[in-house]
Structure 1
């Protein structure tokens, strides 16, 4: 084994014995190291101990639009909360890495250094907790959901492919380093992504792909009042499932995409089966299952493909004069939702999501956000049967309210997304997009910090209100639980503006 640098035999022995495998030791490899201490673990520590944070570098999307879920936002909030709870700035270190290889080397170096310094130190009062968010393999369509969307890190130990073999080695190195940390008395809080074969002391899950799909579908069902719909007058719904087909090897992406659709279909499937929902394009039917995700997937790596796909689904790619009725569109993330809104504009759809089963007007939405009195409307229930298709004297079609049939069909649908992109907030306010969703980042940061302080003080965490129990690798472990924030115009002020996630200017006000 060739070592990139010489290390004491005692440290190497500790690593090999505790981890159970030989690891290739590299030079310090984190892309950024913003350790606030400048001292090592042998320094006297307070009861709050040491906390080392290892996260991925922020992902960059081709669109350059920014989801709210960025590591660069979460980490400072964890650090602030740690300090607020008594952890000294000098006992907190932060490291980010752009790849699993670099992150695993960084974690390994920190752990081995800590083990060696602790062995050599007369004082062992300063306990240490590692916060680790493993770097996942994510392509462009994955990154459109933000940095926190959870992935299960899996790998083939016997892979012959060069890149996959290196990925497997990096993953195994990270697992071994974390096992050494646990064996040496350190605690580990795993964030967002999971590692095959490893069970942490505490797990802090972020949004899973299935949760992302399920949340949007539920919001759509509620807004469209699908429970009150009938097979004689069903709601017309399309699902646009983004898939990055620019890479020949898209297995990891397909796993995530399949799970997003599974979450959607778990909620929408029964309505399609009962005839209360239909797909104008026929891509989804009463007999569709989770395995039919490819029917609604499209190549999102191509610029403007979402708009083209929408026009094709609605049968308006060659003629946009006659509108196809569409009541709801699940766009999966805010980047696609923005393209959908532009596409609906181009096709001549009018109005806003606020007009569908309205509970508040656009003026009321703005008034609510700016602190003025709400202006509310009563929802008008849909008829149990669809409007008559009988031709009127002038050759047109009329609906139950006397409006032209095409005018009804051209009404703006419910559009859902995910990620709380800063650039789409005005669309939430003006009703072009009904809802988005995002992790409760500030709460999660506070929860993670509290757990670290408790672990370093050898105190129980089971009594904390946000702790649940979950199974990982066949074992029950404490899990931090915070609900995803579903955001619409009605709660935008309370959910995002008042907590400081966005400003009035971000909302276009």
Structure 2
């Protein structure tokens, strides 16, 4: 059946549901426990939950973000059971792309709608719940480019609506992959056209299937990405490009004490912004928003003169729209080394350029920055920037042998070159200062890069609170199925999203978690995200 005919059929089913099913289920909404004539109580049903997620993004690189769809689903399932949902009433479906996912959702919704419309009672249903007690959790499959996949699966795509997923990753590709003959280009173009055609059918099918679910009395919660022309009961925003940029810049500013230092001792800061050119410009938009998030924090310090860019790519007058000044293509690993070398290496000189902080945006880029700085001759670690924290102390904290207390980072009001006493130290101290290892931030909590946090080569990463989000999402499903308000949930706000037919929908927005060596144990090890072995212990 063609996509257009299927959409028409769905609309007919929806109309039938509106005139028939809704009348029969109007009295089926869950209520609070009520007393019976014999003094007992009637336990309120939890209903059923159907979870639809994409398959994990494929990557050819060994660098893998901690949070993937395959890890979120078990967490949600576990939390649903804690809320009282029966295993038989929880279904999970993983789909390879938007076309398959929209078909899977359509099949589920139609099967339940037709079953109810034909007069089958609840006892004959697999999940044993009527339509008003069913919530669909849907994470729409979204097309992602190489650079956006480096942040993990949960980042909302900036196009504002779900689109078809590519299913392959070009990260780590060799130069040979760049040479493509005419026939291969033609095949790629044909494949793109076929994908566009599939996408054109899949998006309306997804929206119409979800609308049918709502019309039949079911509830829909969208996760990470909205669906064009569809308004869900609630939305879950796990992370965005802007928030990723903001958290790194905020933590960097705190660590370098940009609020308290003098313009006589400014800090040297660089932003590395990876991106992959895309035909629809979606990756450009992602990079732009990530830069806007970081720049909203850092620009005031550039204006005050307490921060500067040693490469000169950022100035006090830089605007959000000038994100391309610090952007670089991430089509192969060597791009990272080339970018940091071009910014810091002084031509025809053996001396080093002082650098205090580097926002690498994600852990994939951060790992390349670490390698490049080591090659350029920078020494030390982030632990050296705070004398109160030593590597043995960090190790002791992670293994649970001792607590780690951070003290204020001492920093002179004036730069050493402006201080007469320091000037007497000679060129040795100046060289040591210029070769000092900088603060490096990233995102994704790549498991194979966590030892870099322990060693202090990468100071900070960040990640979505997956387990916390799963808990709140399970609580939301219970409240929705039982017809109670969700406004009491933690981290709940109101939000609007591009392409969504509706305004101010309830939005769950869990805080991002900043991770460094000092809190690695409490943020990742104790909750069970990683093991001591993962941290290199």
Short-chain TM bin: 0.7 to 0.9
What is aligned with 1:236?
A: 268
Give the match for residue 13 of structure 1: 12
Q: 2-side partners of 1:122 and 1:380: how far apart?
A: 69
User: Does residue 295 of the first structure (1) align with residue 325 of the second (2)?
Assistant: yes
Give distance in 2, aligned partners of 1:218 and 1:417.
12
Cα offset, 1:502, TM superposition:
0.6
Please report how far the alpha carbon of residue 149 of structure 1 lies from its aligned counterpart in structure 2 after TM superposition.
Answer: 0.7
- Trace 1:423-502 onto structure 2 (pairs within 5 A): 423-472=448-497, 473=500, 474-502=502-530
Q: Distance in 2 between matches of 1:404 and 1:471?
A: 54
Structure 1 position 113, deviation (Å): 1.1
Q: Is contact 1:361-1:376 (8 Å) kept?
A: no
1:386 aligns with 2:400: no
Deviates more, 1:377-386 or 1:305-314: 377-386
2:287 counterpart residue number: 257
1:3 and 1:497 mapped to 2: Cα distance? 47
Does residue 343 of the first structure (1) align with residue 388 of the second (2)?
Answer: no
Give the 3 Å change call, closer, same or farther, for CA 232–389 of structure 1 in structure 2.
closer
Contact 1:10 1:116 in 2 (8 A): no
Distance 1:2 1:228, change over 3 A: closer
2:343 matched to which residue of 1? 313
| 2:26 aligned partner | none
> Which of the residues 148, 157, 172 maps onto 2:154?
148
Please provide the CA RMSD for this pair. Answer: 2.9
Give the whole-Å Cα distance in 2 for the aligned partners of 1:105 and 1:375: 52
Provide the C-alpha distance between the structure 2 equivalents of 1:189 and 1:348, rounded to a whole number of angstroms: 51
- Aligned partner of 1:29 in structure 2 is none
- Partner residue in 1 for 2:382: 353
Aligned-partner Cα distance in 1 for 2:482–2:317? 55
| Contact in 2 for aligned 1:133/1:192 (Cα 8 Å) | yes
List per-residue Cα deviations over 1:441-475 (Å, max 9, x = no partner): 01111111121122222222222334333334552
The Cα shift of 1:171 comes to 1.6
Which residue matches 1:37? Answer: none
Q: What's the offset of the Cα at 1:123?
A: 3.0
Could you say what secondary structure the match of 1:176 adopts? helix
SS, match of residue 195 in structure 1: coil
Shift of residue 375, structure 1, vs aligned partner: 6.4
Which of the numbers 107, 116, 119 marks the counterpart of 1:118?
A: 116
Deviations 1:59-88 (A, max 9, x none): 122323211110000001111111222222
The reply on whether 1:284 has 2:314 as its aligned counterpart is yes
Distance 1:162 1:403 in 2: 63
Q: Within 2, Cα distance between the matches of 1:11 and 1:193?
A: 23
- Measured at CA, do residues 399 and 493 of structure 1 come closer, stay the same or move farther in structure 2, by a change above 3 Å? farther
1:188-229 CA distance string (max 9 Å, x none) = 011011223222111111111000000000000000001122
Structure 2 CA distance for partners of 1:166 and 1:15, relative to 1, 3 Å: farther
1:138/1:375 Cα in 2 relative to 1: closer, same or farther (>3 Å)? closer
Instruction: Tell me the CA shift for residue 401 of structure 1.
Output: 8.8
- 1:11 Cα shift? 6.7
Q: Secondary structure at the match of 2:50?
A: strand
Equivalence map 1:19-98=2 (5 Å): 47-98=45-96
Change (3 A) 1:3 1:381: closer
Is 1:205 matched with 2:237?
Answer: yes
Instruction: Assess if the C-alpha contact under 8 Å between 2:143 and 2:162 holds in 1.
Output: no
Match of 2:142 among 133, 136, 139: 136
The two structures have a TM-score, normalised by structure 2, of 0.82
For 2:282, what is the secondary structure of its paired residue?
helix
User: Which has the higher mean CA deviation after the structures are superposed, 163-172 or 179-188?
Assistant: 163-172
Q: Is 2:162–2:225's contact at 8 Å kept on the other side of the alignment?
A: no
Mapped contact 2:462–2:514 kept (Cα < 8 A): yes
Helix, strand or coil for the counterpart of 1:226?
coil
Q: Structure 1 307/452 Cα, relative in aligned 2: closer, same or farther at 3 Å?
A: same
Alpha-carbon separation, structure 1, partners of 2:409 and 2:239: 35
Change (3 A) 1:149 1:478: same
CA distance change for structure 1 residues 307 and 49 in 2, over 3 Å: closer, same or farther? same
Q: Give the number of the structure whose residues are more often helix, by fraction.
A: 2
Question: For 1:155-194, what aligned pairs fall within 5 Å after superposition?
Answer: 163-194=195-226
Aligned to 1:268: 298
Which blocks of at least 5 consecutive residues in structure 2 are unaligned?
19-43, 123-128, 164-191
Shift of 1:295: 0.5
Aligned to 1:417: 442
Q: Using the alignment, how far apart are the partners of 1:462 and 1:95 within structure 2?
A: 28
CA contact (8 A) 1:56 1:133 kept: yes
Change (3 A) 1:477 1:376: closer
Q: Distance in 2 between matches of 1:150 and 1:305?
A: 25
Aligned equivalents of 1:198, 1:359: Cα separation in 2: 53
